[in-house]
Structure 1
């Protein structure tokens, strides 16, 4: 599945003509027919959700009480669900399919959440772009994992935690 998420993210970036950071993830989501809606969620633990109703555009709900960087990752994560997973059907006044992003999502216990997180990382921090930006850094910065991670996180508009995981997962830092 990691290769599938990388491939899907690369295709989406290519179709969108995006070749440099930061990735305009909201534009990518809307280009795939999704509506992005920001509001404060009563449950502050929930970062976002994807709601799909038959015959209507999917809606990516984003908790606007969270930081801009977290919101960007949430949009990418929910876009991953849109492209990779059918969602779970719940019945309100009519059937609705929902994916939620909450604290459990980041614990890597649910396979769909792991895949959506991998897709989000691949989309926001594509390996080729990351390698290119890494080589642009001063050699002294590249030798300092904390500075390197921080500077790349700024370039890609992601959290230092997300960047750190991505660099480790790609084998670019130890």
Structure 2
């Protein structure tokens, strides 16, 4: 599951020519024909959603009251759903497929959410780029896990916690 997500993220990065951090997630969305729309959501727990309607460009809605880092992760997460999952059909005035990202989905308790989170991490923090940037850091920074995580998070424009999890998942820190 995580492997499929990572492969899809690597493929998208290569197709779009994203080769240096920070990854331009909005350019990647445009590359695959997805429109990104920011607005304040009435339910503050919802960070984003993916809406697919027949005959129209898919839309990733992003809650603009959330931090920039969370918005970037949300866009990447929803792109994961777009590329990997068909979504759930919701009937409004016509059938629409929706994927919502909220508190429950961010805990990643179902397969699709785990896979979308893995895709987002792989897209925003590609393993090869992390290893490359890690080698560029001074030895003093590399030897201090907190400084190392913080510096890489700045380079990749993600939260410290997201980078920390990614470094652990890649086996680069314990």
TM range (shorter): over 0.9
Alignment of 1:18-167 (within 5 A): 18-167=18-167
- The separation in 1 between residues aligned to 2:122 and 2:75, in whole angstroms, is 13
TM-score normalised according to structure 2 size? 0.99
Q: Deviation at 1:20?
A: 0.7
Secondary structure in structure 1 of the residue aligned to 2:149: helix
Shift of 1:162: 0.5
Task: Measure how far apart 1:140 and its partner are.
Answer: 1.1
- Give the C-alpha shift of residue 7 in structure 1: 1.0
Structure 1 unmatched runs, 5+:
none
Q: Offset of 1:52 from its aligned partner?
A: 0.4
Q: Secondary structure at the match of 2:78?
A: helix
Name the SS for the 1:108 alignment partner. Answer: coil
Counterpart Cα distance in 2 of 1:101 and 1:93: 22
Structure 1 Cα separation of the partners of residues 67 and 129 of structure 2: 24
CA separation in 2, counterparts of 1:152 and 1:159? 10
Listed one character per residue, the Cα deviations across residues 111-169 of structure 1 (whole Å, up to 9, x for unaligned) are: 10000000000000000000000111111111111111100000000001100000000
Deviates more, 1:101-110 or 1:40-49: 101-110
TM-score normalised per structure 1: 0.99
2:174 aligned with 1:171: no
Aligned to 1:3: 3
CA RMSD of aligned residues (A): 0.6
SS in 1 for 2:37: strand
